[in-house]
Amino acid sequence: MRCSCEGNFFMSVQYGIGVDVGSTSTKAVIVDAVGRMVASHLIPTGGSAALSAAKCVERIVADVGIRQDDTPIVSTGYGRAQVNGAGERITEITCHSIGVHHLNPEIALLIDVGGQDSKVIRIGKNGRPADFEINDKCSAGTGRFLEVMSRVLEIPLPELGALALESTAPSAISSTCTVFAESEVIGRIGAGDSVKDIAAGIHLSMASKIGTLSRRVGVVEPVCVTGGVALNPAFRFYLSKQIGVELWVPEEPQLTGALGAAILSLKNND
């Protein structure tokens, strides 16, 4: 049956599940046959990728009232190999690309900033990645960088961005290494810089690193930002300045990987 709703897929299944096991959090999404998100859940990954994935899936199938065994699952993220019941394992590069394309087919460039890595993906035909870059092994430019800095400044992570936006003179922070930047922040505190200026410097440093990564792929508009860090207003502000374009952020930017996986579970079972 050809569906006339938003999805335009040929469907033989009613629902699809996507599970994104990241280094910081595990996300699961259920979409219906036309690709509408009907349930989602996010929990910290903790020590076991398999367990966090199972907990997430258990919760969303209960919310929708469906049987897990009857529903195709695609897993993604660093823990994708550990997800029980996944019919297919697809990288987060492809899943984020598909997820964002599903939400906004206009998007040409996707910047995803996760806990452990940041990726820049040029979205091509049918939402598939046409080119991509991932940060090097250094954790500068990832969510972990902000976590470490929030601990050093003793400011809760959700408040760090708003505080940074109050600054008019960001401190100079090295963009090369999280560990060295930590010492540098402590040095700035010792030198008497205000916390808001240091917080702004931290965001600027991170945005600068990701700006470089984006320019390597080539900044083509419209640009979307996803991942937990996309919720941070100071990061969005500085990244937008760095690459010189407006940024589009989905309503739930942490879920696009799981959403893409769920969409692919439908496509692969149609």
Binders of other proteins among 210-229, rule CB under 8 A? 216
Cβ closest to other proteins, residue 36 vs residue 216: 216
Measured between alpha carbons, how far is 227 from 122 in angstroms, rounded to an integer? 16
- Listed ranges 102-110, 131-139, 162-170, 172-180: which one lies at the site for other proteins (CB under 8 A): 131-139
Kind of pairing between the strands at 88-89 and 25-32: unpaired
- Give residues with Cβ within 8 angstroms of 17, minimum separation 6: 28, 29, 30, 57, 60, 61, 68, 71, 72, 73, 74, 261, 262, 265
Q: How far is the CB of 218 from other proteins (least distance, A)?
A: 9
| Contact between 235 and other proteins per CB under 8 A | no
- Reading phi first (left if > 0) and then psi (alpha if -120 to 50, else beta), residue 37 is in beta
- Listed ranges 39-47, 100-108, 125-133, 250-258: which one lies at the site for other proteins (CB under 8 A): 125-133
Measured between alpha carbons, how far is 79 from 270 in angstroms, rounded to an integer? 26
- Give residues with Cβ within 8 angstroms of 198, minimum separation 6: 153, 171, 173, 185, 188, 189
Q: Out of 132, 235, 238, 248, name the contact with other proteins by CB under 8 A.
A: 132
| Contact between 110 and other proteins per CB under 8 A | no
- Listed ranges 57-65, 88-96, 181-189, 228-236: which one lies at the site for other proteins (CB under 8 A): 88-96
Cβ closest to other proteins, residue 151 vs residue 216: 216
| Contact between 151 and other proteins per CB under 8 A | no
Q: Out of 70, 136, 166, 246, name the contact with other proteins by CB under 8 A.
A: 136
Q: How far is the CB of 161 from other proteins (least distance, A)?
A: 27
| Contact between 128 and other proteins per CB under 8 A | yes
| Contact between 180 and other proteins per CB under 8 A | no
Phi, psi of 20 (to 5 degrees): -115, 105
**3-class secondary structure, 206:** helix
| Contact between 93 and other proteins per CB under 8 A | yes
Beta-ladder partners of 17: 30, 73
Q: How far is the CB of 216 from other proteins (least distance, A)?
A: 7
In the chain, where do the E strands start and end?
A: 15-21, 25-32, 37-44, 73-76, 88-89, 109-113, 118-123, 129-134, 223-226, 247-248
Residue 42 identity: L
| Contact between 94 and other proteins per CB under 8 A | yes
| Contact between 131 and other proteins per CB under 8 A | yes
Cβ closest to other proteins, residue 21 vs residue 200: 21
Count of positions on this chain that bind other proteins (CB under 8 A): 16
Which of 163, 172, 175, 165 shows the shortest CA–CA distance to 238? 165
Chain positions contacting other proteins, by CB under 8 A? 78, 90-94, 117, 128-132, 134, 136-137, 216
